[in-house]
């Protein structure tokens, strides 16, 4: 398998773009309606593999099972906590604490699976997702899932962005990937082992490996857009409270301007 890496982690996307501040998310910047997030400088364009939608996209039911096996919702919820901590530090001093709690709760209540399904359907076929489930559901697959997530969170806690952390962790995993895959296959039934081993060597699986970063970026962008939508909605519902909080703060801090 060494010539055609499986890249089991291709879908392990921790969903916290922690480099974004509260103001970039559209909250706390003004006393009026929140302004749209200011776009960060665009990186230099890089060639990306063409997105060819699969002929038979993964069904919502199969993707739900896949995300369940990968502990996707739970791990992404974990990833929100450092994001909230970082964003709270960027809030203006006058921002009501209760309103921030409401905002955090609203973001926590986003159904990340519903957000992820249409993104992954653009890239994942039913067959590929079923094979990924067979691999991840094994004891060795579960160990790899948890190891990748835990190491990524550790790197983020040390100051890396989620993208930087993911790259470092996946680079480390490549050293032992083939041996781990063999152990996963051994734990399957003979028929499942034959089918999955053959698929690991297929052109479709190789293509999925090539676009793994693209899938990751697409999901992160979609999920953060949903976060901004929810945060802005909470702020818009509490405009009177925000204006009063700002006015009260100005009254005790002459010359202050947001």
CA distance 176 to 173: 6
Residue 113's closest CA among 56, 166, 69?
69
Q: Is residue 11 helix, strand or coil? A: helix
Predicted confidence band of residue 95 (pLDDT cuts 50, 70, 90): very high
Name the phi and psi angles at 234, rounded to 5. Answer: -65, -45
What H or E segment, with its residue span, contains residue 184? helix 177-186
Distances (CA, A) of 82 to 16, 100, 104, 115, 233: 8, 15, 12, 20, 22
Predicted confidence band of residue 203 (pLDDT cuts 50, 70, 90): confident
* Predicted pLDDT of residue 3: 37
CA distance 122 to 138: 26
* Predicted pLDDT of residue 176: 66
pLDDT tens digits, one per residue of 51-91? 678 899 999 999 999 999 989 999 888 888 888 988 899 99
- What percent of the chain clears pLDDT 70, i.e. is strictly above it? 76
Largest CA distance in the chain: 76
* Predicted pLDDT of residue 25: 62
Structural domain boundaries in the chain: 54-251
pLDDT tens digits, one per residue of 103-155? 999 999 999 999 999 999 999 999 888 888 888 888 888 888 888 778 777 77
* Predicted pLDDT of residue 150: 81
Lowest model confidence (mean pLDDT) among 7-21, 156-170, 200-214, 237-251 = 7-21
Predicted confidence (pLDDT) at residue 250 exceeds the cutoff of 70? yes
Q: What is the mean pLDDT of the chain?
A: 79
Asked if 115 and 41 count as a contact pair (C-beta separation under 8 A), the reply is no
Q: Which residues 6+ apart lie within 8 Å of 184 measured at CB? A: 135, 138, 140, 141
Phi-psi region of 124 (alpha: psi -120 to 50; beta: other; left: phi over 0): beta
CA distance 20 to 134: 36
pTM, to two decimals: 0.76
């Amino acid at each position: 398998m060494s010539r055609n890496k499986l890249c089991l982690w291709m879908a392990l996307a921790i969903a916290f773009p922690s480099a974004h501040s509260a103001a970039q998310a559209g909250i706390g910047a003004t006393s009026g309606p929140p302004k749209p997030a200011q776009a960060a400088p665009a990186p230099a364009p890089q060639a990306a593999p063409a997105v060819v939608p699969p002929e038979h996209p993964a069904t919502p039911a199969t993707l739900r099972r896949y995300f369940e096996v990968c502990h996707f919702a739970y791990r992404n919820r974990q990833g929100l906590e450092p994001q909230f901590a970082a964003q709270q530090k960027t809030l203006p001093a006058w921002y009501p604490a209760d309103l921030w709690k409401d905002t955090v709760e609203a973001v926590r209540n986003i159904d990340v699976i519903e957000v992820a399904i249409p993104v992954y359907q653009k890239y994942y076929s039913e067959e590929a997702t079923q094979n990924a489930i067979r691999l991840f559901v094994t004891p060795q697959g579960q160990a790899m899932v948890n190891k990748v997530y835990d190491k990524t969170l550790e790197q983020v806690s040390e100051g890396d962005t989620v993208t930087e952390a993911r790259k470092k962790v996946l680079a480390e995993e490549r050293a032992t990937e083939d041996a781990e895959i063999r152990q996963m296959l051994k734990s399957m039934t003979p028929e499942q082992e034959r089918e999955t081993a053959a698929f690991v060597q297929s052109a479709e699986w190789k293509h999925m490996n090539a676009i793994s970063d693209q899938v990751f970026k697409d999901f992160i962008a979609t999920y953060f857009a949903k976060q901004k939508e929810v945060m802005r909605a909470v702020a818009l519902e509490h405009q009177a409270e925000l204006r009063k909080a700002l006015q009260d703060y100005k009254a005790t801090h002459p010359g202050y301007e947001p």
